Amino acid sequence: MTPNELKPRIGIFGRRNYGKSTLLNYLTEQEISIVSPWAGTTTDPVKKTMEVRGVGPVVWIDTAGIDDEGSVGRMRIEKSLEVLSQVDLALILFTDNRFEAEEVSLVERCRKKDIPFILIYTQIDRIPCDDALIESIESDYATKVFRFTSKNPNLREPLTTLIREGLPESAFLHKSLLGDILHVGDVVVLVTPIDSAAPEGRMILPQVQVLRDLLDNHAKALVCQPDELEALLHEQKNMPRLVITDSQVYDKVSKIVPESVPLSSFSVVLARAKGLFADYINGTPHIDKLKDGDRVLILESCTHNVTCEDIGRVKLPNLLSKHTGKRISCDVVAGLSALDRPITDYALVIQCGGCVITPKQLASRLAPAIDAGIPVSNYGLAIAYMTGIFQRAVNVFQ
């Protein structure tokens, strides 16, 4: 996954041969998806980034048919439904005067997950719609059905307008990470270790996002590695407003930064911005309740090269074992991949900072655990808790 995934996501859903790929090509005015008369041409979600006037860039996702058949077909349906839980707006297509179990299920899933949706009757040039059916649907779901044919170029603007109005503000308005606790001119120190897990020639995305937010808020950023921190602080006439460190060096940095100076981590900053901070605060202390034989699920939002210093696969599991003194099994799942076992098999879920996913995607990712009553934590908060500085890491945000 890339930072492009932070853009609003619009998914196109419906049965096979209902014109999903045609609609995507129509809206983007490009041949993005293969169109053919054969059912099941689209087998995997197809993504395309495009500007929408009044919104900016969005990610369009064309999905496989929800009526696919056979064992492989069921896998394709599952993939499409996984996409549904990640989008900010769903376009639900139907035609042939059929609005049956498949369509009703899509609408109900959207309602349950609080996903805005637009109903589109397609291929109206070939299959005129039954006005009575449309009126019934509009009455049942308190929404208008958009009547569409790709043969009419004049429908592009009204449909785009409808889509723009259907996107929730949260999909494209970016909340400042630190704007509510900083003032113009504040000095913030960023501690960014360069180890084998650091990408070659660049900073990791959370560090870049925090640095950009400081610039947007007209704060002053000082950046150093852990070994340089003590000298940097000694050189300052006044102590910084805040120190933000990589979670992996919490212990070392906390001993250098005076108690009077607020200290937190990049992961904690992102955890707060993504909207599940209270769940993390409540869930993190459950680390001390882990027992022999418990399983912990570690969720990474991105995929990356694994090293001996990998935080999710190496450092967190080792720290959990050392802190609890228990025999604990850790499963790591990267990206938005499906889990290999039921969520109820886990005693705790620890989510990364989520720098490459939207709040909507992160909330959907953790919803099964939260709904099942399984405590959830975050990389930065979990490490802070196990290094004895949990309260210090969150004080600045409370």
For residue 248, the model assigns a pLDDT of 85
Task: Report, as an integer, the average pLDDT of 237-266.
Answer: 94
Task: Report, as an integer, the average pLDDT of 372-398.
Answer: 93
Classify burial at 131, counting beta carbons within 10 Å of its beta carbon; exposed 0-12, middle 13-18, buried 19 or more. exposed
Domain tally, the chain = 2
Co-location of 164 and 207 in the same domain: no
The predicted-structure confidence for 73-129, as pLDDT tens digits, reads as follows: 677 778 878 888 888 999 999 999 999 999 999 999 999 888 999 999 999 999 999
- Quickly count: other Cβ atoms within 10 Å of residue 158's Cβ: 11
Q: Which domain holds residue 239?
A: 187-269
Please give the Cα distance from 308 to 320 (Å, whole number).
17
The predicted-structure confidence for 359-368, as pLDDT tens digits, reads as follows: 877 888 899 9
- Tokens 């369009």 locate to 60
Co-location of 96 and 31 in the same domain: yes
**Contact between residue 13 and residue 106 where contact means Cβ atoms under 8 Å apart:** yes
Co-location of 66 and 167 in the same domain: yes
Co-location of 150 and 192 in the same domain: no
The pLDDT mean for the chain works out to 87
Co-location of 108 and 233 in the same domain: no
Percent pLDDT > 90 in the chain is 58
Strand partners, 329: 295
349 band by pLDDT with thresholds 50, 70 and 90? very high
SS3 string, 78-143, reads: HHHHHHHCCCCEEEEEECCCCCCHHHHHHHHHHHHCCCCEEEEECCCCCCCCCHHHHHHHHHHHCC
Which of 218, 234, 269 lies at the terminal end of a domain, its last residue? 269
369 band by pLDDT with thresholds 50, 70 and 90? very high
For residue 173, the model assigns a pLDDT of 54
The predicted-structure confidence for 272-291, as pLDDT tens digits, reads as follows: 988 799 999 999 999 999 99
Please give the Cα distance from 79 to 64 (Å, whole number).
8
Q: What is the CATH number of the domain that holds 18?
A: 3.40.50.300
309 band by pLDDT with thresholds 50, 70 and 90? low
* 148 lies in some domain: yes
Co-location of 52 and 200 in the same domain: no
Co-location of 153 and 29 in the same domain: yes
Co-location of 132 and 263 in the same domain: no
Task: Report, as an integer, the average pLDDT of 344-365.
Answer: 86
- Of the given ranges (94-98, 249-253, 333-337), which has the lowest mean pLDDT? 333-337
**Contact between residue 244 and residue 191 where contact means Cβ atoms under 8 Å apart:** yes
The predicted-structure confidence for 24-69, as pLDDT tens digits, reads as follows: 888 877 665 444 454 444 445 678 887 777 667 888 898 888 877 6
Co-location of 113 and 77 in the same domain: yes
